[in-house]
């Protein structure tokens, strides 16, 4: 992936962010997961070793500020792991006063060592600055006067039409999945990753329209989650057991499946929690209504209307991406249609005025196109 796509930095930071967030969340929940520590350690060591073998990367994982998050999570992961030995020796809980103090001592020691190291290394110019493109995602870009730098640092935010154009139905299902993810108890790590990934992808796409591409995987996963959740629920309404019959009768009486009274008959609705409980019990007690809803949903899926629209839109987008053109039409503000042939003119200039074995310095995507046309 590193050799093929410059976006590996985003993937690296997302994995690091997820690992760091999971470690912090585990600590708050008063537990420690050695599997998470071992998994991330293996990922970082093996992945970094292979990445440094790619010429454009080299020692960037240790020198580039854009990749420093992965290194910091690796270091603090070891810090927490070492503090875990001390905590177990003392036989105290993670979130107990003594357990927290043990963690803090190790963290402060690590931070002190890192600050001393930074104080020594930074003046030598070992660490490279953030690129203009990345810096422009977080702060307002100050014009440099260099057209090449300014053109990539001044980003245009994505619009609602752009989200629909690139994601189609996945755009809506992605939003719905945000409310389902917190209730996924079987795969909490996956839910945490999708939530973090979704938030980061949405933030970056709001800053730069072309970064909507980052939201494609999480939007697709969210769509699969929603459709799978709804389909599982709908099909479950056609298979009724004796236990479901008893649960329906208990719901009609204002009780949960264990027989605990949740809602007194004739009680007034006084809070949001009471209203939600009342709605949930009423819905649970109305089998015919649920069955009718399930039939409508399954029939809608079977009709294939939404699926056909999505497939047609996806094929159209795939064709437009897979068949780039050097000349294309554009409409000016006054309504005139013009032919943009800047690329063709530039390639003709390269062909006519440069040696055949010339090397052209360009951005990653333009470089791929130049190589393809040159070959």
Are the C-beta atoms of residues 128 and 89 closer than 8 Å to each other? Answer: no
CA distance 172 to 175: 5
pLDDT confidence bin for 243, thresholds 50/70/90: low
Across all residues in the chain, what is the average pLDDT? 82
Say which residue the tokens 């006063």 belong to: 97
pLDDT tens digits for 109-128?
A: 999 999 999 899 888 888 87
pLDDT tens digits for 172-207?
A: 999 999 888 888 878 889 999 999 999 999 988 888
CA distance 30 to 248: 37
What is the pLDDT, as a whole number, of residue 263?
A: 59
CA distance 114 to 109: 9
Res. 275: pLDDT tops 80: no
Res. 74: pLDDT tops 80: yes
- Comparing 253 with 374, which gets the higher pLDDT? 374
Q: Report if pTM > 0.85.
A: no
What is the pLDDT, as a whole number, of residue 76?
A: 94
Question: What average pLDDT does this structure show over 307-319?
Answer: 88
What is the pLDDT, as a whole number, of residue 109?
A: 94
What is the pLDDT, as a whole number, of residue 323?
A: 66
């Amino acid at each position: 992936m590193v050799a093929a796509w410059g976006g590996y930095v985003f993937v690296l930071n997302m994995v690091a962010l997820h690992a760091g967030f999971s470690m912090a969340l585990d600590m708050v929940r008063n537990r420690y997961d050695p599997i998470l520590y071992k998994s991330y350690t293996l990922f970082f060591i093996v992945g970094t070793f292979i990445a440094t073998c790619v010429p454009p990367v080299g020692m960037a994982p240790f020198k580039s500020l854009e990749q420093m998050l992965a290194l910091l999570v690796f270091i603090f992961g070891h810090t927490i792991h070492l503090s875990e030995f001390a905590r177990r020796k003392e036989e105290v809980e993670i979130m107990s006063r003594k357990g927290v103090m043990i963690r803090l001592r190790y963290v402060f020691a690590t931070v002190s060592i890192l600050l001393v190291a930074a104080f020594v290394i930074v003046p030598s110019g070992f660490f490279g600055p953030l690129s203009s493109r990345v810096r422009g995602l977080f702060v307002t870009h100050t014009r440099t006067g260099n057209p090449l730098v300014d053109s990539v640092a001044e980003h245009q935010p994505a619009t609602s039409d752009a989200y629909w154009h690139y994601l189609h139905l996945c755009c809506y299902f992605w939003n719905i999945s945000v409310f389902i993810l917190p209730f996924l108890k079987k795969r909490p790590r996956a839910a945490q990753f999708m939530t973090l990934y979704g938030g980061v992808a949405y933030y970056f796409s709001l800053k730069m329209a072309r970064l909507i591409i980052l939201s494609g995987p999480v939007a697709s996963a969210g769509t699969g989650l929603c459709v799978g959740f709804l389909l599982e629920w709908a099909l479950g309404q056609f298979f009724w057991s004796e236990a479901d019959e008893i649960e329906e009768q208990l719901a009609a009486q204002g009780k949960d499946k264990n027989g605990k009274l949740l809602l007194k008959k004739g009680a007034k609705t006084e809070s949001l929690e009471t209203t939600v409980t009342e709605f949930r019990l009423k819905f649970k007690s109305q089998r015919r209504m649920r069955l009718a809803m399930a039939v409508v949903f399954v029939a809608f899926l079977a009709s294939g209307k939404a699926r056909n629209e999505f497939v047609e839109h996806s094929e159209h987008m795939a064709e437009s991406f897979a068949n780039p053109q050097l000349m294309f039409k554009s409409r000016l503000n006054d309504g005139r249609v013009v032919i943009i042939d800047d690329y063709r003119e530039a390639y003709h200039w390269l062909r006519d005025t440069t040696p055949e074995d010339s090397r052209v310095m360009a951005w990653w995507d333009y470089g791929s196109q130049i190589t393809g046309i040159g070959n």
